[in-house]
Amino acid sequence: MEGKHVGFLSFLKSKPEPAPAAVKAAAVPSAAPPMAAPSAPDHEGDPEAIVVRAEIVDEHHRLCGYRFSVPFGGNRAPLPEPVLIETLVAARLPQFAQNRLALVQLSMDAVVFNRHLPLVAPHTVFLLDRKAGDLPVEQIAGRMAALRETGCKVALRGISLDAADAPMLAVCDIAMLYLSEHTLAEFQSLIKQLRMRYPDMKLAVDGVETWDEQRMCMSWGCNYFLGHFLTTSDKVDPDAKVDQSRMTSIELLNLLRTDAELPAMIEVAKRDPGMTYQVLQWANAPSNGQTTKVTSLQQAFMVLGRNQLYRGLTVSMFRLGGGANKARDESLLEVALTRARFLETCSTLPQSKRDELFLVGLLSLFDALLGVPMASLVDKMHLSDDIRDVLLSSEGVYGPYLMMVMLLERDKVDRALEIAEKLGLDMDGIGPVGQAAFKWAQESMQHTSGDE
């Protein structure tokens, strides 16, 4: 284990427990000043809107960015584009796009009226639909060129290989392709021709549902992939074995869960030198406030405490792998942290139940992480009946919560809000809590990335 885990548990310790109204107020990020607009917006968008993020995975399996949208749900009407853009500014999209891709769909009129300027950042990608507005090719190409002049990139949907479309493709940074709009033979031919004619243009494919589809598109030359494949299991092997380091973590988690005595936990940790090193690194993190160096596992467990050690071990399971799956595991961790934090903070349940919801969010992706059936994993862990029920059959007291967050992840806002209403949650607070969870997960990933 390397020093990148230092500070991980101490970061997770900062768990505010505000009242529901306070959650709602604190969860709304302050609006950032427009980066290129002539003046600040008159208002800060819709603070109750639900910002939906779809993962963008690159050819190295890194979660390199997100597509951001603000769908409407329930009785709410679609946001006017100026309010939608201000809402994304308030959600700190320009700050996110300083380092990672942020894909946002624009209308053709947005370019004419400079509505997009507050969202401009080095990694902002504006998506235009070639078929929207029925404009001549020359006008679309002109608007794409105008967008690029502001320092951002441009993606285009609805492209063709017709010679008449060449002016648009010449100023296109990313071609947005959709699996469902072509037969496989047509899709492969389209990619081949685009690669040959426009070698500098990146190809993004949406609607990727499985890892097999992702590998197929990648082998044909695509660069970016959107869809639900990241959180699905890839080639689950019912006879697969969990590696030793992760087995050690699971054994420690079981001991913590059953309130085992300290000597028993120390004995398990000692079997794995890497685990011993990691726990000591956690305990010696500067933010833990230790004036003297922690040199024994007994001291380390005392400093960290059971609850934070349990959380840290659970999260570290995503980082105990290596090799070809390392980037994929890190991507899954980011999704899992966002999911877990949302589940923890969306409800008014007692803190012990919210702690369990946090674990449900993390554990719900363990089968995708390890390529092992969930039933096999659950059998190896001492979990409460409530956690077992939701992980094995999506049932029990936590089932609706997990279903709600998964629907939000898949842009099914109406159905998610129906569940939220049945659960008695603050409907207007779902959006702010979701945005706060995303921000918390981003900070957690940065805090523990090892780049410091």
pLDDT(449) > 70:
no
CA angle 428, 345, 334 (to 5 degrees): 110
Round to whole Å and give the CA distance between 9 and 444: 10
**Which pLDDT belongs to residue 322?**
64
- pTM of the prediction? 0.83
Quickly tell me which residue has 């469902």 as its tokens: 180
User: Among the listed ranges 185-189, 295-299, 443-447, which one has the minimum average pLDDT value?
Assistant: 443-447
Q: What is the per-residue pLDDT for 185?
A: 93
Quote the pLDDT of residue 451. 39
Q: Token pair 């390397």 is at which residue? A: 2
Confidence band of 240 (pLDDT split at 50, 70, 90): low
d(C-alpha 313, C-alpha 391), whole Å: 18
Amino acid at 56: I
* 327, 422, 435 from 415: Cα distances, Å: 32, 11, 19
- Evaluate whether 228 touches 214 at the Cβ level (below 8 Å): no
CA distances from 355 to 342, 382, 398, 427 (A): 11, 15, 12, 22
Mean of pLDDT values over 105-115: 92
Q: Is residue 354 classed exposed, middle or buried when 0-12, 13-18 and 19+ CB atoms within 10 A define those classes?
A: middle
Q: If you average pLDDT over residues 402-415, what whole number do you get?
A: 93
pLDDT at 98 over 60: yes
236 — pLDDT class (breaks 50, 70, 90): low
Fold of domain 52-231: TIM Barrel (3.20.20)
* Residue type for position 332: L
Domain ranges of the chain: 52-231, 244-447
| pLDDT of the residue at 31 | 29
* 52-58/63-69 β-pairing: antiparallel
Q: What is the mean pLDDT of residues 299-323?
A: 81
**pLDDT for 28 beyond 50:** no
Render 177-238 in DSSP notation, one character per residue.
EEGGGS-HHHHHHHHHHHHHH-TTSEEEEEEE-SHHHHHHHHHHT--EEEESGGGS-SS--T
Residue range 195-228, pLDDT digits in tens: 999 999 999 999 999 999 999 999 999 999 999 9
Tell me how long the chain is. 452
Residue 311 has a pLDDT of 77
The predicted-structure confidence for 40-85, as pLDDT tens digits, reads as follows 344 478 888 899 999 999 999 999 999 999 987 666 778 899 999 9
pLDDT higher than threshold 90 for residue 131: no
Show Cβ contacts of residue 71 under 8 Å, excluding neighbours closer than 6 positions.
Answer: 50, 52, 411, 413
